[in-house]
Amino acid sequence: MLQDWENFIKFNGITYLNQPWMFHYPEEELEYFGEIGFRLEGNVDDPNYEVKDGDASYLDKGTKIYFIKGYSSDFRLVADTSEKLLLFEADTNPNAAKGSDLLDIGGRVVTIEISSPFDGKNRVASISDPGTVSTLVDIILEAPVDQESPKPGNSRASITFYLYDGVNVRRSFRPDTGELHRGIMLPDDFWETVEPLLPIPSELDGTQWTLIEMDGKGLVEDTHITLYFRDGSVQGFAGCNTYGAEYSTEESGILKIEMPFQTMLGCPFPEGVLEQEREYIEKLANTARYSITGSKLEIYGPGNKKLLVFERIPEYSMEPADLVGTRWKLVSMNGEPVLKDLTITLSFDSDTEASGQAGVFDYSLFYTASGDDIGWGMSEERTGELSKELERQALHYTDSLMWVANYRLTSGTLELYTSKGDTLVYELVEDSDGAN
């Protein structure tokens, strides 16, 4: 349906998608390009409507469109909504023959950052050497474009180009097929240049754990503590607050964790949760070594004293692309069914955007996914009133949604798992013709 469409505009046969980046262009750098002639949302209910030049999914008719001086209008446009400026970048261009027809970034890139879910690990390379940056950008700009045939793959990286003007460009990339989104087909020498620059991860990097024992004792009832290792840092949920810190493994079995930083929430319930949290954080900061046996991670302090015992959180072989275009209805939270008069939905509109409703709460998400890991930022708008009972469950859902860390997709079912220990279960919503 139209409410699931991406935020796009179309001019000169080119479809542009809204980008979430914050940017500030002085008025003198913007030049008038055109105006929106028709808004689809609220005016068209035909899913087969053929989009025309001047159309926009959500911008009002008459919205002024500008191009940025110094940039090709085939690459970037700016919409003035009177409340703020929105940046749009080319997604599909039927006349694009090579990368430079879609990405006007030649001579503009300062740094290239590559985040790669390779072998289930999220390895990050930051490339600032001018010669290497120039070589990689030239490969991209000269690469042929094929936007016609789908090119599914089994791996995906995220590439961010940091430009001189401070406005970044981010595109997904599939190392196994060579496609830089959307349809720029890079030769093998691109990834062959990049892959050696990615750091070799430790055996801990990319793993996820839940605490089951501290000083030989179990946790306070109804509390949950998690530990994730990501790109040289640890993060997780400590029972009330989230935390994070840098970690290092200088040699096998040796583990050092800096004193974690935390959010500063106060949680009176369950009783003892804050005292347990303080003790947990102190023990993390005193970590000296670790061992992994089967599904157990044991952390030891000075004097070889066992401090913490974790159990591995199951990891599933997932392909994030399978989420795109799917729509879901929540059926339960932590085994409790959704109340009869409350409808909660979630739609994956693209490989970076999702949206849904929780009763009278409309929400949108900018998400990233790798393997079975998923995370997002969320904006929410209230559109009406609910009874206290329904509102309580709706707000419980939106709160839980902010803590989602992993997902599992099976036939007709989506499960989301949060770092707080919640499980959200959805069923697939199908159209009358059987399509999802």
Domains and CATH numbers, the chain: 2-93 (no CATH), 109-197 (no CATH), 208-312 (2.40.128.270), 320-428 (2.40.128.270)
The per-residue pLDDT for 220 is 94
The values of phi and psi at residue 29, to 5°, are -90, -5
What pLDDT sits at residue 431?
A: 64
- pLDDT above 70 covers a percentage of the chain that reads 92
Banded pLDDT at 119 (limits 50, 70, 90):
very low
Q: What is the DSSP letter of 301?
A: -
User: In the chain, what percentage of residues exceed pLDDT 90?
Assistant: 64
- Angle at the Cα of 173 from the Cα atoms of 171 and 176, rounded to 5 degrees: 175
Indicate the average pLDDT of the chain: 89
Confidence (pLDDT) at 154? 54
- At 140-153, the pLDDT tens digits run 999 999 998 766 65
368: confidence class by pLDDT, cuts 50, 70, 90: confident
Contacts of 281 (CB under 8 A, 6+ apart): 238, 243, 259, 260, 262
Q: Are 172 and 122 in contact (CB under 8 A)?
A: no
Q: What is the pLDDT of residues 375-391, one digit of tens each?
A: 898 888 999 999 999 99
Q: Assess contact for 74 and 86: CB atoms under 8 A.
A: no
Beta-carbon contacts of residue 393 (< 8 Å; ≥ 6 apart): 333, 338, 339, 342
Whether a cis peptide bond, with omega within 30° of 0, leads into 327 is: no
Q: Which residue has the tokens 């998690």?
A: 226
Other C-beta atoms lying within 10 Å of the C-beta of residue 235? 17
Residue 139's pLDDT band (boundaries 50, 70, 90)? Answer: very high
Structure tokens at 310: 């974790």
Identity (one letter) of the amino acid at 181?
H
pLDDT at 90 over 80: yes
Give the Cα separation of 95 and 293 in Å (integer).
56
pLDDT score recorded for residue 206: 80
Task: Read off the pLDDT of each residue in 86-99 and give the average, rounded to a whole number.
Answer: 94
